[in-house]
Amino acid sequence: MIAEIIAVGSEMLTPYRQDTNSLFLTARLNQLGVNVAFKTIVGDNWDHLTGVARTAFSRSDIVIFVGGLGPTEDDLTRESVAEALGTELKRDHEIVTAMYKRFAERRIPMPDNNAKQADVIPGATVLPNSRGTAPGQWLETMYEDALRIVLLLPGPPHELEALWKGQCEERLRAVIPASAIATRILKTAMLPESAADARTAPIYQRHPEVETTVLAGQGQVEFHLRATAATMDEAQAAVDCLADELQDELGDAVFSTAGESLEEIVGLFLQMRNLKLAVAESCTGGMVAERITSVPGSSRYFLGGAVVYSNDLKTLFADIPPLMLEAHGAVSREVALALAENIRELCNADIGVGVTGIAGPGGGTEEKPVGLVYIAVSDGQKKEVVQRRFPGDRERIRRWASQQALDMVRHLLM
């Protein structure tokens, strides 16, 4: 069985936006043993969309439309798919009622155009969208004597993903032949990409039965392993064996072996040891705190802290003596250490983090260039500060620095 993903939206035909939902869908389809044979990107244009739908139905077993389910005039997916299938939409009044309720809860009157989101292809199962107004649709139908599975899904990634996991996978599994694909993800922190690859390539090349993909971001290198076999035991054994060998080589640079983010791992460690964290950030401007608090339940181990962007606030919220700022500069080893230690004490936390640096693009000097960052952690007894020169633009430098800070907390807790 082959699948086709059709991303609908004129914005994805500009130089500025790209379809990214298909990456998520491809990963999930692959896990079910289904290959994606075609991806098509088409604009909000009746003729184009209807033509694309006909082409897809004629060549692919599973056709997944993403986007174009909203309330606006531009949203034409429902209508075009019905037209391509030679049928007409029917309005589902239960959905209309549910939409009225949703708006009423938020005390906003529902605009009339919203009702078109309740138009359903005859024979389709409606897939309620818990995170948005536009429901998805699932249809099994014959097209030119072949069985086709047709899916209409909303474009916003969080809606799409929830709907896919909650309502599409089980349905698909029931209609496609079973096969076993096992995957593992190993994530490492603060390992240079080229070093990571040089050390691991000889290992994963010895295991052609496992498909290995190496992905690198700011301070993070991930190994995605994937094996297909007759049984799940066999597939799992293959990825586990390679994962073990890679972990032996990479040691404690590996922070996650089951997909967790670095902020989740740090949270788990803090919670297990019943410790509280506080942070004082200058150049990262809240990014460390934002990453930590992106994890549900982080209030159990994160107290908060200060964004000490100006020098005055470094003194006000983290007791940094003005004389220290004058003597060493705000971007210095001394200030980073004092930020970590003082924020820990002031907040009555167990561990403190301090970050200060030059994110650029302005503000660099020969002595203190853009990308220079000092990151410190302290638990009162053990104090550590590192100096780093991160590459890239403002956003990348800040991301690297926040990654380093989280990784230092992880090492302190190991």
Residue ranges in 143-172 that form contacts with its own copies under rule CB under 8 A: 158
> How many C-beta neighbours within 10 Å does residue 339 have?
33
CB of 383 vs its own copies, minimal distance in Å? 22
The upper half-sphere exposure of residue 101, i.e. CA atoms within 13 Å in the direction of its Cβ, equals: 7
Tokens of 408: 């230092």
Q: Pick the binder of its own copies from 20, 231, 271, 365 (CB under 8 A).
A: 20
> How close are the terminal C-alpha atoms of the chain, in Å?
47
Based on the shown chain and the rule CB under 8 A, indicate whether residue 34 belongs to the binding site for its own copies: no
CB of 375 vs its own copies, minimal distance in Å? 16
CA dist list (Å): 296 to 211, 257, 379: 32, 20, 24
Tokens of 325: 């700022």
- Residue keyed to tokens 């788990």: 268
| From 80-88, 172-180, 229-237, 384-392, span contacting its own copies (CB under 8 A) | 384-392
Angle CA(34)–CA(38)–CA(42) in degrees, nearest 5? 130
CB closer to its own copies, 122 vs 217: 217
| C-alpha–C-alpha distance, residues 40 and 53, integer Å | 10
- Residue keyed to tokens 């990262």: 284
CB closer to its own copies, 123 vs 224: 224
* Pairing, β 62-66 against β 2-8: parallel
Contacts of its own copies in 79-108 (CB under 8 A) = 105-106, 108
| C-alpha–C-alpha distance, residues 338 and 314, integer Å | 10
53-72 mask for its own copies (x: CB under 8 A)? --x---x----------xxx
| From 163-171, 377-385, 391-399, 403-411, span contacting its own copies (CB under 8 A) | 391-399
> How many C-beta neighbours within 10 Å does residue 147 have?
11
CB of 77 vs its own copies, minimal distance in Å? 15
264-283 mask for its own copies (x: CB under 8 A)? --------------xx-xxx
| Peptide bond between residue 15 and the one before it cis (omega within 30 degrees of 0) | no
| C-alpha–C-alpha distance, residues 154 and 68, integer Å | 7
Based on the shown chain and the rule CB under 8 A, indicate whether residue 286 belongs to the binding site for its own copies: yes
Contacts of its own copies in 231-270 (CB under 8 A) = none
Contacts of its own copies in 197-216 (CB under 8 A) = 197-198, 201, 205, 211, 213-216
- Residue keyed to tokens 């064996």: 241
Based on the shown chain and the rule CB under 8 A, indicate whether residue 312 belongs to the binding site for its own copies: yes
CB of 112 vs its own copies, minimal distance in Å? 7
Q: Pick the binder of its own copies from 292, 338, 376, 401 (CB under 8 A).
A: 292
CB closer to its own copies, 45 vs 125: 45
| From 248-256, 264-272, 303-311, 374-382, span contacting its own copies (CB under 8 A) | 303-311
Q: Pick the binder of its own copies from 193, 240, 345, 384 (CB under 8 A).
A: 193
Based on the shown chain and the rule CB under 8 A, indicate whether residue 8 belongs to the binding site for its own copies: no
| From 44-52, 167-175, 236-244, 375-383, span contacting its own copies (CB under 8 A) | 44-52
| From 40-48, 79-87, 144-152, 239-247, span contacting its own copies (CB under 8 A) | 40-48
CB closer to its own copies, 90 vs 396: 396
Phi, psi of 50 (to 5 degrees): -65, -40
CB of 107 vs its own copies, minimal distance in Å? 8
CB closer to its own copies, 254 vs 360: 360
Please check whether residue 406 is in contact with residue 258, taking contact to mean a CB–CB distance below 8 angstroms.
no
CA dist list (Å): 184 to 21, 196, 211, 289, 363: 21, 17, 11, 29, 42
Closest CA to 190 of 251, 234, 271: 251
Q: Where are the beta strands (DSSP E) in 169-308?
A: 180-189, 211-217, 220-229, 254-256, 277-281, 302-307
CB of 42 vs its own copies, minimal distance in Å? 6
CB of 212 vs its own copies, minimal distance in Å? 8
CB closer to its own copies, 317 vs 374: 317
Please check whether residue 368 is in contact with residue 388, taking contact to mean a CB–CB distance below 8 angstroms.
no
Q: Pick the binder of its own copies from 1, 11, 176, 180 (CB under 8 A).
A: 11
- Quick check: helix, strand or coil at residue 66? strand
